[in-house]
Amino acid sequence: MKKISFLLALTFLSVFGFSQNIDEIKDLMSKQQWEKAKTTVDAFLLKEKNTTKWEGWYYKGIIYNEIAKSEQLKNQFPDARMNALNAFKKYYEVDPKAIQATLEQHVRLFEIYSNYFDLAAQNFNAKDYAAAFANFKNALTAEQYIFSKDLEYNNFKFPAFDTVLYQNIALAAFMAKQEDEAAVYYNKIAEQKIGGTGNEDVYQYLVDYYSKKKDLINREKYLHLGNTLYPDSDFWYITEFNDVEDETDKKKIFAKYEELIPKYPNKIILQYNLAVELFNYAYTSDHKPADYVLTQTKLEKVINDALVAKPDYTEATVLMAKHIYNLSFDIQDEQRAIKGTKPEDVKKRADLKAKLMAKNDEMIRFAEKAYEVYNSKTELKAIEKGNFKMIADLLSTAYDLKGNSAKAEEYRKKQESIQ
């Protein structure tokens, strides 16, 4: 009986000591004596028997959070807010029902998140990007813990994936010149395949990042993903086209276009640009290239493909008219090369004339289609005016060849009127 009484007395004294310490901590908290409260709660939790009770951890969380908010104490204890979060984590561990926190709607945890986020925003606006990066990450740490516990405050819950917060973290890292860290967080967004307004830069950043790293596998991964989510953007194919280092190597340029055209079928501009490159290669050099005829054939096919995909592509229509006009010159060169008067020579010249007139009529069809587009516009851009004048000139020349001087004069006057 004596032994039992002794044990009971010890238990009573232990509970009394526990209550006395908790009352002291609560008293210091009520007086907002946070530094003393910190010392007391830290000493309290040094005793192993106290670490299994919720009170010490809960009050430590409150005390450290208040220190983090205090202008007088926050610099003295720079890790106070994270220590508060960790204390609350321990509180939820030792008291799974979390009755006290539930009564307060878990407001302490939400406040920690909010304070980290607000501080990060202040850091960012003050251009202290390294601090902004650190505090946005801390906000994410708090948010992820809250989400993991399925907690809510005033009917608000955090999403499973907070895209805006990840964007903020990545941007702060980038501005702090921590590009590897920025890539980590942009990768997390990309892994979710998140599209929509404001997220295209995620995939562009990753493409640029892996390009610099010469990691072509990951670059291709994000090129494909970016193009899937943002098919209207020109960034993806321009990035790949920039792989051609020597802009004077026409063969490599042609090959790159032919590689990209099937990869980006919705980008008809690629076909048009290849046609322009082929046109310049064939017609603007001092000397005809060795593969002149082959280039002409390829050029015509590329323009036709562009016009099939986009029949109202006026620039491609203009280019086709110019190409056919140049073909007509080639036929005239063939005509001039025939000097003989033999029947076969006469026939050959006649055949070439018929071929020339057919090409002339073909050119007129394309030129008049472009002419109608430009003529219907009330305002023309500078490049459109240039094309309009050129088309009018081609048409006046074509109708001269047909012997229709009235029509030729009509187009000539129109050409002169375009300013």
Cα dist from 231 to 116, 122, 195, 196, whole Å: 37, 36, 11, 12
pLDDT at 18 over 80: no
Confidence of residue 248 (pLDDT cuts 50, 70, 90): confident
Overall average pLDDT of the 216-222 stretch: 97
pLDDT at 294 over 80: yes
Output the pLDDT for position 419: 85
Overall average pLDDT of the 374-402 stretch: 96
Percent of the chain exceeding pLDDT 90 equals: 89
Output the pLDDT for position 247: 80
Mean predicted lDDT score pLDDT of the chain: 93
Output the pLDDT for position 16: 45
Output the pLDDT for position 19: 63
**Cβ(139)–Cβ(167) below 8 Å:** no
328 vs 4, higher pLDDT: 328
CA 159 and chain centroid, separation: 22
pLDDT at 251 over 90: yes
pLDDT at 7 over 60: no
Torsion over CA: 154, 159, 160, 162 (sign): negative
Beta bridge pairs of residue 153: 156
pLDDT at 79 over 70: yes
pLDDT at 12 over 50: no
Percent of the chain exceeding pLDDT 70 equals: 95
pLDDT tens per residue, range 144-184:
999 999 999 999 999 999 999 999 999 999 999 999 999 99
* Domains in the chain, CATH or no CATH each: 15-103 (no CATH), 250-379 (1.25.40)
Output the pLDDT for position 126: 98
Output the pLDDT for position 2: 33
Confidence of residue 30 (pLDDT cuts 50, 70, 90): very high
Output the pLDDT for position 244: 92
